[in-house]
């Protein structure tokens, strides 16, 4: 053993969570060391090359608003960028990038290498060091000891990783990287409860072996939007994705080989993500479906490898090749990497506080897939919060905890910590009660103040956010009195979108509230539009068009906050509260909620229990 150094914060793991955790803690002024077992695997995307999409894209915008890196790096390295759900309401409009995986990794590593106060070291951490319930540091496989006041563990899908293909398995992390052995046992010795999950990935195929003429091309947006306010928006070379389908033959092959699937032979114990099912699961669960959609996604500008989205599998390799050849356009396919399933250990997130700190060991934080979530974005968001909270602890500041009404990140952490997980947790817009307020376009406005307070963004960046908010308020007020003339040019546009022509002048706001009228239809008639940024225009349209719904949503948030701020003393004996169900007494005692709002979200606590609790608290 040797002492390799003392820091304010040690981050274990250079995946999506670890990168954001290390960066956030260093930005807040801490001396940070990032220990990861392969520098070449920093920010690796072991699964799909996509960043963003519904709810995940919102999280990327929130990470950017909190000074994080994922959005900016995705903007610089995308192969393709698309705004999804443009025909639907603003709450579900979401940006999604197909990233060049290698460029994404290289830029993320470069940005971390140039972050002041951050050191990056290749090392395999096998043990956490603690004293009387307080973290002291970590030890590596080669005997180095790193001491620190805080440690953030973001070991992802590597903890006791086991890769399975057919009846064969290997102790391994993703992409044939080393599994992380020893650390789970060390965490277990601290009384930290662990579980076992699994996830899977599809085969990769060679572009030259694909017959694209049988597929539907899916190009990117012409001048795509960007995740980060730091990125410029211009036309760029993009690669397309391709839509294809499985056939009856595909389904027959799967049915004939289910007995060879490790998922159905009992070889895999870990629970998998419901919303990213394997192709085997889809055939079994949706037996009535004649075919399944698949998307071929390029993995990089400088590679011919393509990802077969929707074809995750751990069937034996020979079956995988036969299956691929049964897909429309893949009769001559060359498989470059087989699909596989990976089982890994995770930490039960109910053992954490809302700051993502372990209840078993002060100063020890967890973030990412290790907390039972699934997805690059969910991991990166947790990483940023855990890193910021480790730094806040060092700096003697209160933890950075976002509410469900403030951010998808608040929904994510609250769901994990308060409700726990029975399968890998994936964020979706339907999980957010107040999603109309948690939009892509207003992430900076929602989180700018707290980001500036914690030193995650510069004061001048926050100033710019405030100025945009003031500008927006002026524009909303202005358009409510700005009239649009009743003239041929205007009526031509209105009729062009199937909207009734004007019979007299109307305010721009009134016109914008018409369902079929969008900002781009009115912009030519409004001088304000000439100098407006696309992001401000998007916000303006939403604020005017959905003003009524937004006001209602804000009232609901008021109600939510009243219960959220109804605090519960930590020394209450729930067992003595008459009228509470036994299940509620048990779970409330186990989880010790800080507020009535939190109590409501604990499984087994019914609305009747909440009513009893409220009366009891009033009595006290
Ligand atoms: C096969 C596969 C399929 C997936 N499929 C999907 C999917 O379909 N949908 C989806 O949303 N997500 C999927 N994911 C999950 C997605 O990859 C993860 O959610 C995301 O990468 C998690 O980020 P993370 O930072 O928590 O962990 P990871 O990205 O796994 O990074 C962990 C990091 O920790 C390092 N590390 C681990 N142990 C140690 C140690 N002891 N010492 C030092 N360093 C260590 C590793 O080198 C790595 O850099 C899949 C992942 C895999 C592996």
pLDDT tens digit sequence for 97-113:
999 999 999 999 999 99
Euclidean distance between CA atoms 485 and 466, whole angstroms: 32
Cβ 580 under 6 angstroms from ligand 1:
no
In ligand 1, the atom with minimum distance to the C-alpha of 174 is 53
Contacts for 610-618: CB closer than 8 Å, 24+ residues apart: 612/577, 612/578, 612/579, 612/580, 613/568, 613/577, 613/580, 613/588, 614/566, 616/577, 617/566, 617/568
In SS3 terms, 298-324 reads as ECCCCCCEEEEECCCCCCCHHHHHHHH
Radius of gyration from C-alpha coordinates of the chain: 26
pLDDT of 509 > 90? The answer is yes
Least confident of 308-317, 535-544, 593-602: 593-602
pLDDT in tens, 213-255: 999 999 999 989 999 999 988 889 999 999 999 999 999 999 9
User: In which residue are the tokens 């060390």 written?
Assistant: 186
Q: pLDDT tier at 589 (50, 70, 90 boundaries)?
A: confident
Confidence grade of residue 300 (pLDDT, cut at 50, 70, 90)? very high
Compute, in angstroms, the gap from residue 329 CA to the centroid of ligand 1. Answer: 31
CB 355 within 8 A of CB 399: yes
41 lines ligand 1 (CB under 6 A): yes
| 375 Cβ closer than 6 Å to some ligand 1 atom | yes
Token look-up 């971390």 returns: 112
CATH class for the domain made up of 2-157+347-453: alpha beta
Q: Which atom of ligand 1 is nearest to the CA of 181?
A: 41
Alpha-carbon distance 459 to 451, whole Å?
Answer: 10
CA angle 111, 116, 117 (to 5 degrees): 120
The DSSP annotation for 481-500 comes to T-EE---HHHHHHHHHTT-P
Q: Which of 26-35, 37-46, 516-525 has the lowest mean pLDDT?
A: 516-525
Predicted confidence at residue 528, as pLDDT, reads 80
Q: How many CA atoms lie within 13 A of 554 on its CB side?
A: 7
Tokens of 81: 């960028």
Residues forming beta bridges with residue 244, ordered by sequence position: 294
Please give the average per-residue pLDDT across 369-392, as a whole number: 98
SS (H, E, C) 541-567: HHHHHCHHHHHHHHHHHHHHHHHHCCE
Look at phi and psi of residue 186 and say left if phi exceeds 0, alpha if psi is from -120 to 50, else beta.
alpha
pLDDT at 611: 85
Residue whose CA is at the smallest distance from ligand 1 atom 30: 156
Q: What is the three-class DSSP state of 138?
A: strand
Query: Domain-by-domain residue ranges, the chain?
Result: 2-157+347-453, 204-340, 474-550, 566-619
- Give the chain's count of helices (H) and strands (E): 20, 22
**CB atoms closer than 10 angstroms to residue 190:** 14
- Closest by Cα among 259, 254, 267, 270 to 313: 254
- Which residues have C-beta within 8 Å of that of residue 371, sequence separation ≥ 6? 346, 347, 349, 352, 356, 382, 416
Ligand 1 within 6 A of 18 CB? yes
Angle between helices 534-545 and 459-479 (to 10 degrees): 50
CATH number for the domain formed by residue range(s) 204-340: 2.40.30.260
Distance, CA 253 to ligand 1 centroid (Å)? 31
Q: What is the pLDDT of residues 132-191, one digit of tens each?
A: 999 999 999 999 999 999 999 999 999 999 999 999 999 999 999 999 999 999 999 999
State mean pLDDT over 418-428.
93
Q: Which of 139, 279, 374, 428 to mutate to test the pocket of ligand 1 (most atoms within 8 A of CB)?
A: 374
Helix, strand, coil shares of the chain as percentages rounded to 5?
A: 40, 20, 40
Q: How far apart are the first and last CA of the chain?
A: 55
223-247 burial, b if ≥16 CB within 10 A, otherwise e? ebbbbbbebeeeeeebbbbbebbbe
DSSP strand pairing (2-12 vs 144-153): parallel
Burial of residue 588 (number of CB atoms within 10 Å: 0-12, 13-18, 19+): buried
Ligand 1: distance of its center to the CA of 46 in Å? 7
Evaluate: CB of 591 within 6 angstroms of ligand 1: no
Distance CA 112, CA 34 (A): 9
- The encoded tokens of residue 619 equal 């009595």
pLDDT of residue 148: 98
Residue identifier of the C-alpha nearest atom 12 of ligand 1: 375
CB atoms within 10 A of CB 348: 15
Residues in the chain: 620
Q: Pick the residue whose CA is nearest to atom 29 on ligand 1.
A: 15
Residue 79's pLDDT is 97
**CB 175 within 8 Å of CB 328:** no
Q: Which two tokens stand for residue 613?
A: 């609790």
CATH of 474-550, one of 3.40.50.1820, 1.10.600.10, 3.40.1000.10, 1.10.10.1800: 1.10.10.1800
511 in Cβ contact with 522 (< 8 Å) = yes
Instruction: Compute the Cα dihedral for 272, 321, 205, 107 and give only its sign.
Output: positive
What distance in angstroms lies between residue 448's CA and the mean position of ligand 1's atoms?
A: 29
**Residue 61 CB–ligand 1 contact under 6 Å:** no
**Looking at the domain 566-619, which fold is it?**
DNA polymerase; domain 1 (1.10.150)
CA distance linking residue 470 with residue 462, whole number of Å: 12
| Residue 471: both structure tokens together | 């500008």
- Check pocket membership of 139 for ligand 1, CB cut-off 6 A: no
C-beta of 376 in contact with ligand 1 (< 6 A)? yes
Q: What is the C-alpha separation between 266 and 280, in angstroms, rounded?
A: 14
Q: How far is Cα 394 from Cα 28, in angstroms, rounded to an integer?
A: 10
Residue 571 has a pLDDT of: 85
State which ligand 1 atom lies nearest to the alpha carbon of 17: 25
- Determine the distance separating the centroid of ligand 1 and the alpha carbon of 192, expressed in angstroms: 20
Pocket of ligand 1 contains residue 22 by CB under 6 Å: no
Q: What is the mean pLDDT of the chain?
A: 94
Judge whether residue 55 has pLDDT over 90: yes
Any ligand 1 atom below 6 A from CB of 104: no
Closest by CA position to 28, among listed 117, 113, 110: 117
**171, containing H or E segment:** strand 168-171
Region for 175 from its dihedrals, namely left if φ exceeds 0, alpha if ψ lies in -120 to 50, beta otherwise: left
Locate tokens 């909207």: which residue? 499
């Amino acid at each position: 053993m040797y002492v390799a150094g003392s820091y304010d914060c040690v981050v274990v793991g250079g995946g999506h969570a670890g990168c954001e955790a290390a960066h956030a803690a260093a930005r807040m002024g801490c001396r940070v060391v990032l220990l990861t077992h392969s520098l070449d695997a920093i920010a690796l995307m072991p699964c799909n090359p996509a960043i963003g999409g519904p709810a995940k894209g919102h999280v990327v915008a929130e990470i950017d608003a909190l000074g994080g890196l994922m959005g900016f790096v995705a903007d610089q390295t995308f192969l393709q960028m698309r705004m999804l759900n443009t025909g639907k309401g603003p709450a579900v409009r979401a940006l999604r990038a197909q990233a060049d995986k290698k460029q994404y990794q290289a830029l993320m590593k470069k940005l971390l290498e140039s972050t002041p106060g951050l050191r990056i070291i290749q090392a395999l951490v096998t043990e956490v060091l603690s004293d009387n319930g307080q973290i002291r540091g970590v030890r590596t496989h080669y005997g180095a000891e790193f001491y620190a006041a805080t440690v953030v563990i973001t070991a992802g899908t590597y903890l006791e990783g086991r890769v399975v293909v057919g009846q064969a398995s290997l102790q391994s992390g993703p992409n044939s990287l080393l599994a992380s052995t020893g650390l789970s046992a060390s965490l277990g010795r601290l009384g930290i409860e662990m579980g076992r999950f699994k996830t899977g990935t599809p085969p990769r195929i060679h572009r030259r072996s694909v017959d694209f003429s049988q597929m539907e091309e899916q190009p990117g947006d012409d001048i795509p939007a960007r995740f980060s306010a730091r990125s410029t928006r211009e036309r760029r070379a993009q690669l397309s994705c391709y839509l294809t389908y499985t056939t009856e033959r595909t389904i027959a092959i799967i049915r004939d080989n289910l007995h060879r699937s490790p998922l159905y032979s009992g070889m895999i114990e870990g629970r998998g993500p419901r919303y990213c099912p394997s192709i085997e699961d889809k055939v079994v669960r949706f037996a009535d479906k004649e075919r399944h959609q698949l998307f071929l996604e390029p993995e990089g500008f400088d590679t011919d490898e393509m990802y077969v989205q929707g074809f995750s599998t751990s069937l034996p390799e020979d079956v995988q090749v036969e299956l691929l050849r049964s897909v429309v356009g893949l009769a001559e396919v060359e498989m470059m990497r087989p699909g596989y399933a990976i089982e890994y250990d995770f930490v039960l997130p109910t053992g954490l506080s809302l700051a993502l700190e372990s209840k078993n060991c002060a100063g020890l934080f967890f973030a990412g897939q290790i907390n039972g979530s699934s997805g690059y974005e969910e991991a990166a968001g947790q990483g940023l919060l855990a890193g910021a909270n480790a730094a806040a602890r060092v700096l003697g500041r209160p933890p950075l905890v976002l509410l469900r009404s403030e951010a998808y990140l608040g929904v994510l952490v609250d769901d994990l910590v308060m409700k726990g997980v029975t399968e890998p947790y994936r964020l979706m817009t339907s999980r957010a009660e107040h999603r109309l307020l948690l939009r892509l376009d207003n992430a900076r406005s929602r989180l700018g103040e707290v980001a500036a307070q914690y030193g995650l963004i510069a004061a001048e960046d926050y100033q710019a956010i405030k100025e945009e908010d003031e500008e927006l308020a002026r524009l909303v007020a202005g358009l409510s009195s700005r009239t649009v003339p009743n003239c041929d040019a205007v009526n031509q546009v209105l009729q062009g979108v199937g909207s009734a022509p004007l019979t007299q002048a109307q305010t721009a706001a009134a016109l914008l509230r018409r369902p079929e009228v969008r900002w781009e239809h009115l912009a030519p008639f409004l001088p304000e539009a000439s100098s407006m940024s696309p992001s401000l225009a998007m916000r303006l349209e939403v604020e005017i068009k959905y003003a009524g719904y937004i006001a209602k949503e804000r009232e609901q948030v008021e109600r939510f906050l009243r219960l959220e701020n109804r605090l519960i003393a930590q020394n209450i004996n729930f067992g003595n509260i008459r009228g509470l169900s036994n299940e509620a007494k048990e779970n409330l005692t186990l989880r010790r909620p800080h507020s009535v709002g939190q109590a409501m979200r604990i499984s087994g606590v019914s609305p009747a229990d909440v009513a009893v609790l409220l009366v009891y608290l009033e009595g006290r």
